[in-house]
Amino acid sequence: MAFTNEQLERYSRHIILKEIGVKGQKKLLNATVLIIGAGGLGAPAALYLAAAGVGTIGIVDADTVDLSNLQRQVIHTTNDIGKRKVDSAAETMRAVNPDVTVNTYYDFVSSANIMDLIKDYDFILDGTDNFPAKFLINDACVMAKKPLSHAGIIRFKGQLTTILPGEGPCYRCIFKDPPPKDAVPTCKQAGVIGAMGGVIGSLQAMEAVKYITGVGELLVGYLLTYDALKMEFHKIKLPPRGKGCAVCSDAPTITKLIDYEQAACELKH
C-alpha cells in the first residue's frame, strides 16, 4: 500500500517520529480497534484513533445521545441529541478522517455477543460504565487472548491498565468479583468531571497506538491512577498474572462467560 500525497500530509507529524515513521503509520492504517461504549472514555479515544488513521474502528453502544452526555462525550454535539451514539460517533470519526472504516454495533455487550464482537479486532478498548460489562469484557478478552485497555473514571479520579492475556495480570486478578449492585457508586450517581474522560480515554488511545505500532512500554502489569484534585498520577505495580485468578490462571475456574446483574439505574445509562 502506497501513501497518497494527502495521506503523507495528513500523517506527517506521525511519519516524522522515528518511532512511528511510514512503517508505523501503515500498521495503524491496517489495524482494527473495537471501542465498547461511545461515552466519556470512548468519545476521546475514538476521536484520537480516527485522527491517527486506525484503519478500522468498531464502536459498540446501545444508547442514544442525551443532553446530559454533552458535558464530557466530546464526539457528540447538541445537534446529535436523540441519535444513536454509535451513529453520531461514526459520523464524527468519518468527518475527522475519511481513511477510517467505522463499524457500528447498536447493542449492549452480553455473553451472547461479546466473543463475536471482539473476534475480528486487534485491540479492545473498554469504555463502559458498569461492572457487569467490565468483568464480561475482561473475561472474554482473556478467553479470546485479545489485548485490552481497561479503564474506569469517577468524580475527580480515573485509572487504567493494559491487559495482554497470558502475559500480564487481568482485571479479575485485581478485583475478584463485581461489587454488589449499588455498593460502589456510578458516574451517574456520583458525578464525574468532564475532562476526566479526556485524560483517561486519551491514555487508552495512546496504549492502542503503542500496541499497534510496537512502540514503547505498555501499561501491562501496572494500574495507573490519576487524581485530578491532587494533580497526581500514581503507577501501581501489580503482582504477576494468574495467581489464584479465576479466569486467567493456568487452571481457571471461570471457563464460561457470566452475565452479572446490572444495577437498575445503570440499565438506561
Beta carbons within 10 angstroms of residue 214's beta carbon: 11
Q: Minimum distance from CB of 61 to other proteins (Å)?
A: 8
Mask for 140-179, x = binds Zn ion (CB under 5 A): ------------------------------x-xx------
Mask for 55-94, x = binds other proteins (CB under 8 A): ------x-x-----x---x---------------------
The answer to whether 223 contacts other proteins (rule: CB under 8 A) is yes
Q: Where does this chain touch other proteins (CB under 8 A) — which range of 21-29, 124-132, 138-146, 252-260?
A: 124-132
Beta carbons within 10 angstroms of residue 19's beta carbon: 12
Q: Minimum distance from CB of 21 to Zn ion (Å)?
A: 35
Q: 86 with 60: CB under 8 angstroms?
A: yes
170 binds, among Zn ion, other proteins, none (CB under 5 to 8 A by kind): Zn ion
Closest CA to 179 of 157, 140, 152: 152
**CA-to-CA distance for 149 and 209, rounded, in angstroms?**
11
Helix (H) / strand (E) element for 36: namely strand 32-36
The answer to whether 139 contacts other proteins (rule: CB under 8 A) is no
Task: Give the residue carrying C-alpha cell 472514555.
Answer: 41
Task: Give the residue carrying C-alpha cell 479479575.
Answer: 172
Instruction: Report the interface residues with Zn ion, using CB under 5 A.
Output: 170, 172-173, 245, 248
